[in-house]
Amino acid sequence: MTHTRQESGAMGIPRVTAAMLRDLGVCKEQLEVFEAHWPNGAAVTLRGLAKARRLGLSTGFLAYLLPYATRVGYKKVCDAAWAECDKVSTAARVKYQKVSNAAWAKYQKVFDTALAKYFKVNDTEWAEYREVNDAARAEYRKVCDAARAEYRKACDAALAPLLRDALRQREKGSKDDD
């Protein structure tokens, strides 16, 4: 993992190469993105680091290219920056939650009012529907019952003489068999 020769580009700016990243154990996907954008390696500049971050590359692991003592100093700078980031983020989160909770409460109040109106209207309309539906169903049953009674009368009227004839024929047949 130790690189004896400093990789340098134009104007003597050190470069990070794909070989260095491979030695650090960078994942295949990150290495492919790096090689697609910097086939000859990337100069170590703020602009280059910003581009790497925009491309979704992790850059923190590059600190492992630093000598240990330098890396300790770098970590102190990053820890202080993180503490400030966390402080600002926490304050922003508290403000966001306050605004969000107030908006949610307002929404919930409007929703609850609307829901109560809905149920009131729904109950009224449901009762009206039931009244109309029950009347219509009663009329439907009345008509159907009358139609079925007529059907039964017609069937009975047809069945009675046919059945009488059939029974007479049967009686005759059994008398003939005697």
Residue 94 covered by a domain: no
Best CA proximity match to 21, nearest among 51, 60, 77, 62: 62
Above pLDDT 90, what percent of the chain?
A: 62
Element (H, E) at 6: none
Residue 5 covered by a domain: yes
Number of domains in the chain: 1
pLDDT exceeds cutoff 50 at 2:
no
Taking residue 15's Cβ as centre, other Cβ atoms within 10 Å add up to 18
| pLDDT tens string 6-46 | 454 555 678 899 999 999 899 999 999 999 999 999 988 88
Which structure tokens are listed for 147?
A: 């139609």
Q: What is the mean pLDDT of the chain?
A: 88
Which pLDDT does position 126 carry in this prediction? 92
Q: How confident is the model at residue 5 (pLDDT cuts 50, 70, 90)?
A: very low
Residue 41 covered by a domain: yes
Which structure tokens are listed for 120?
A: 């009131």
pLDDT exceeds cutoff 90 at 60:
no
pLDDT exceeds cutoff 50 at 65:
yes
More confident residue, 122 or 173: 122
Cβ within 8 Å of residue 14, ≥6 positions away: 6, 7, 8, 43, 44
Residue 43 covered by a domain: yes
Q: 29 phi and psi, to 5 degrees?
A: -65, -45
Residues 62 and 16: beta-carbon distance below 8 Å: yes
- pTM > 0.75: yes or no: no
Residue 56 covered by a domain: yes
Domain span at residue 61? Answer: 1-65
The residue-averaged pLDDT of 74-84 equals 94
Which pLDDT does position 58 carry in this prediction? 87
Residue 101 covered by a domain: no
Cβ within 8 Å of residue 48, ≥6 positions away: 38, 42
Residue 137 covered by a domain: no
Residue 90 covered by a domain: no
